Amino acid sequence: MRFLRQFRGVLRLRCLDILVNRPPIKNNKQFSWLSTMQSPKLLRNAQTQHGDASSVDVENIFLHRHMLSTNPTSGGNLPDREDSPKCVWFPDDQDGGPAESKDPPTSISEEKSETQSKEVLPEKRKASSTDDEGYVKKVKLDANGLKTKRPGFSDERYDETSYYFENGLRKVYPYFFTFTTFAKGRWVDEKILDVFVREFRAAPPEEYERSLEAGKLTVNSEKVPKDYRIKHNDLLANVVHRHEVPVTSQPIKIVYMDKDIVVVNKPASIPVHPCGRYRHNTVVFILAKEHNLKNLRTIHRLDRLTSGLLLFGRTAEKARELELQIRTRQVQKEYVCRVEGRFPDGIVECNEKIDVVSYKIGVCKVSPKGKDCKTTFKRIGEVGSDSIVLCKPLTGRMHQIRVHLQYLGYPISNDPLYNHEVFGPLKGRGGDIGGISEEQLISNLISIHNAETWLGLEEDQIVSGEIKDAAASTSVVENPINRETEKPVISQNLEPSNEIATQTCYEEPDRSFDSKKATSDPQCSECKLNYRDPGTKDLIMYLHAWKYKGIGWEYETELPDWACNSNIDYDQV
> Annotated active-site positions, please?
303
DSSP string, 133-168: HHHHHHHHHHHHHHHHHTTS--HHHHTT--EEEETT
177 bridge partner residues: 240
Separation of alpha carbons 167 and 356, rounded Å: 37
Pairing between strand 51-52 and 253-257?
unpaired
CA nearest neighbour of 546 among 264, 270, 333? 333
**Phi, psi (deg, nearest 5) at residue 370:** -80, -170
Q: CA 562 → CA 254, 384, 540, distances in Å?
A: 21, 12, 10
Residues 249, 268: contact at Cβ < 8 Å?
no
CA nearest neighbour of 346 among 382, 380, 369? 380
Residues 266, 555: contact at Cβ < 8 Å?
no
Considering only CA atoms, give the Rg of the chain: 37
**Helices and strands in the chain, H and E counts:** 13, 21
Pairing between strand 307-313 and 543-550?
parallel
223 bridge partner residues: 218
CA nearest neighbour of 418 among 480, 344, 362? 362
- CA 412, 418, 420 angle in degrees (round to 5)? 100
Separation of alpha carbons 483 and 462, rounded Å: 16
CA nearest neighbour of 279 among 469, 458, 445, 474? 458
Separation of alpha carbons 354 and 358, rounded Å: 12
Contacts of 458 by beta carbon, 8 Å cutoff, 6+ apart: 200, 201, 202, 276, 277
Separation of alpha carbons 237 and 219, rounded Å: 6
Separation of alpha carbons 317 and 262, rounded Å: 14
